[in-house]
Amino acid sequence: MKILYAKDADTLSRYAADRFVEQIKSNPKSILGLATGSTPKKMYEYLGEDTHVGKVSFSEATSFNLDEYVGLAADHPASYHYFMEEYFFSKVDFKEGANSLPNGVAENLEKEALDYDQRIQDVGELDILILGIGSNAHIGFNEPDDVFEPLTHVVALDHSTRQDNARFFNSIDEVPTHAISLGMRAIMRAKKVLLLAFGENKAEAIRDLVKGKVDPKVPASILQLHANATILIDEGAASLLDESDYTSI
């Protein structure tokens, strides 16, 4: 695991966007793994600008998102379908049908989760995957647990996750209680993983990821075993680490 530090989130977002540009240049048909939330927004903005000026094109790429809330249809403003459309898909040049997210309103959610997993297995590995991290160290919505869940699955969200995400809703009561999340197998099989973490709210999770042992109670810690994972942290997220734990960019 490589741990890279920059004081500000913008530098790290630009760095991550550059890795996506590099990836698409080396293989325009790349399969991208995508996250939602506050953290990757700036990276998506940079990729939108890069597309606009002709520096990169997503026209041959495809993507799979990590997760979706159960019970929110694609047109719900707090759904991850909506988020992706608003902040990324509408700003770049993917072809119609190139982007996949789990369907949070599928009639049979368990089947939807397994079908989604199968679709990823059928196309092979994700070439590059961007992750955020929860304050409880979740990645995707793999919440702290006794085991690492390998396949895409329906998950009950931790109270802390629902609290953290209440800012996207009118109140915590509106935050869905469940989500469909990619499991650890697809995450660990991704050829390249970039995890962005911004702010002091992520400092404990980052300390446990970097300095703790591999433990399903700290879901992100599984990345210690990944062959090509880069953790990108700003000043706040790095605040419980020593300077010797990371390299500045």
Residues labelled catalytic: 67, 136, 138, 143
For residues 58 and 190, what is the distance between their CA atoms, to the nearest angstrom?
A: 19
Q: Quick check: 139 binds ligand F6R (CB under 6 A)?
A: yes
For position 183 contacting ligand F6R by CB under 6 A, the verdict is no
Q: Which of 5, 6, 20, 37 binds ligand F6R (CB under 6 A)?
A: 37
String of DSSP letters for 122-147: HH---SEEEE---TT--BTTB-S-SS
Q: Is residue 179 a contact point for ligand F6R (CB under 6 A)?
A: no
Coil, strand or helix at 107: coil
Q: How far is CA 83 from CA 32, 69, 88, in A?
A: 16, 12, 8
* Residue type at 187 in one-letter notation: I
Closest residue to ligand F6R using C-beta atoms: 132
| Structural contact between residues 91 and 51, judged by C-beta atoms closer than 8 angstroms | yes
* 231 touching ligand F6R, by CB under 6 A: no
Rounded Cα gap, residues 59 and 79, in angstroms: 24
- Closer to ligand F6R at the Cβ: 109 or 134? 134
DSSP 61: -
Residue 154 CB contacts under 8 Å (≥ 6 apart), including other chains: 70, 109, 110, 113, 178, 179, 180
Q: How far is the CB of 180 from ligand F6R (least distance, A)?
A: 11
Contacting range for ligand F6R; rule: CB under 6 A; set: 30-38, 44-52, 94-102, 239-247? 30-38
Q: How many residues sit in the footprint of ligand F6R (CB under 6 A)?
A: 14
Verify binding: residue 81, ligand F6R, rule CB under 6 A: no
Binding-residue pattern over the window 105 to 124 for ligand F6R, x denoting contact by CB under 6 A? --------------------
- The total number of residues shown for the chain amounts to 249
Residue 63 binding ligand F6R, by CB under 6 A: no
> Exactly one of 3, 84, 127, 138 binds ligand F6R (CB under 6 A); which one?
138
Which residue lies nearer to ligand F6R by CB, 55 or 185? Answer: 185
CB-wise, 104 or 132, nearer to ligand F6R? 132
Instruction: Quote the tokens at residue 138.
Output: 């979740």
Distance, in Å, from the CA atom of 75 to the CA atom of 141, rounded to the nearest integer, reads 21
Interacting residues toward ligand F6R by CB under 6 A? 35-39, 66-67, 132-134, 138-141
